[in-house]
Amino acid sequence: MQYRELADSGIDVSEVGFGAWTVGTDWWGDRDESDAIEMMEYALEQGITYFDTGDVYGHGRSEELVGKVLAEHDDMVVATKVGYDFYDNPQAGHGELPKNLSPAYIRDAVEGSLERLGTDHVEYLQLHNANVEEITPDVLEVLDELREEDRFDALGLALGPSIGWLAEGDFAIEQEFDGVQYVGNLLEQDIHQHFVDSVRESGASTSLIPRVPHSSGLLNEQVTPETELEAGDHRGFRPDEWYETGWEKVDALRFLERDGERTMGQAAIQWLLSFDEVASVTPTFRSKADVDEWARTPDTPRLSDEERERIAELYADNFGVDRFDGMSKEDYRTSVDGDDLRDAGLVGTAD
C-alpha cells in the first residue's frame, strides 16, 4: 500500500480507501456484524487505513461498526459525513432523505456521529451532498468552531448522490476545502477531469477522492452479461443499456490488463491514481477477495503515458460504441439550473 497526504492537512490516507457504506446497509447485499468487522480488520491488515463512512448509512449502523473497529485500532483514518436528517425520517428504499444543514443541526449531528464512532474526534468531516446555497456563512462558521474545538481536522464535501454537482465541487475548491468526493471512473471521466482542471487552475491544495471507480461493477467485471442483480442491489439504478454498451467499452480497454501483474479492476483504480490531485480512491468492497485485489493496486505497474493517451483517445470516441448507453449527460445533476454544466461544456446550450 502507498499513502498520500490529504491536501495540506498533515493527514496521510491510503491510496485505496474503504467505503464503509457497504457495511451499514443492505444495498450491496446483506452482511452481519461479525462479517463486517472482520472485513474491515482484514482491510487494515492489507494496509488500508482510510475508512469513509457517514451518519446516514444504515441510520448510524455504519458508524457504529466502524467505531467498534476503531476502538481496537489506532492507525485508522476515519472520515464521516453529516447533512441528512435521518433522525426524523425513515429510509424508504434507495430514496434521498431530507437534508438539514442548519448550524444547530450540524453541531448535533457531528456530536451524534462521534458518539456512535466512540471517539471525540475524527480526522476528516464531510458535508453530505450539500447544495451551494445550503453552505451558508453560518454553516462555515459552525464548521470552523467545531474544528477549533478539535472535533475534526480536515473538512470536505461529498457530492451526490448521483453524477454532476460541478458548482458544489468548484465551490469547495474555491473555499479550499481539504477534499471533494465524487463519482469518477474510466467510463465516466467528465466530472473527474473537470475537478482536476479546477484544482490545477485555482492552485488550491484540495484533494480529490473519487468513488465508484469500477463503474458499478463493469470495470471489475463483477457485473457480466450473465449477472442478474438482486432486488434492492444499488447497482440496479443503471439502465440495461449502460451495461450492454459497457461490456463493449471494457473490451476496448483490455490492453490495460497485464497477465499476473495488473487486472482490469486494478487498472481502473490506477488510472485515477495517475492524477496527482487524487488522494485516495474508494471502491465498493463486497468480500475479502475484493480487499486482496484492490489493496494490492498501488503495487501494480503504474499506467504509462502511452496507456493514458490511448485511454483519452478511446474516451473521446466513446470507445468505438455508436449506441446510446441510457445515461445522458443531460441527466447530470446540478443545483444551479444547469449553468455549471453548460459552462463546463458538458451539455449543450438551448437553441
Q: Which pLDDT tens digit goes with each residue over 65-102?
A: 999 999 989 899 999 999 888 777 665 555 667 788 99
Encode pLDDT of 147-205 as tens digits.
Answer: 999 999 999 999 977 777 788 999 999 999 999 999 999 988 988 999 999 999 999 99
Evaluate if residue 39 carries a pLDDT over 70: yes
Mean pLDDT of 298-311: 94
Determine the pLDDT at residue 349. Answer: 40
Q: What is the mean pLDDT of residues 121-142?
A: 94
For the chain, which domains are there?
Answer: 3-343 (3.20.20.100)
pLDDT digit string, tens, across residues 254-269: 999 988 889 999 999 9
CB-side neighbour CA atoms (13 Å) of 227? 18
Tallying the residues shown for the chain, one arrives at 351
Q: Is the pLDDT of residue 234 over 70?
A: no
Number of C-beta neighbours around residue 19 at 10 A: 24
Per-residue pLDDT for 310 more than 60?
yes
| Per-residue pLDDT, 321 | 85
**Nearest-angstrom CA–CA distance, 329 and 190:** 9
Mean pLDDT of the residues in the chain: 85
Q: What is the pLDDT of residue 28?
A: 45
pLDDT score for 330: 53
Instruction: Locate 264 and state its grid cell.
Output: 482490469
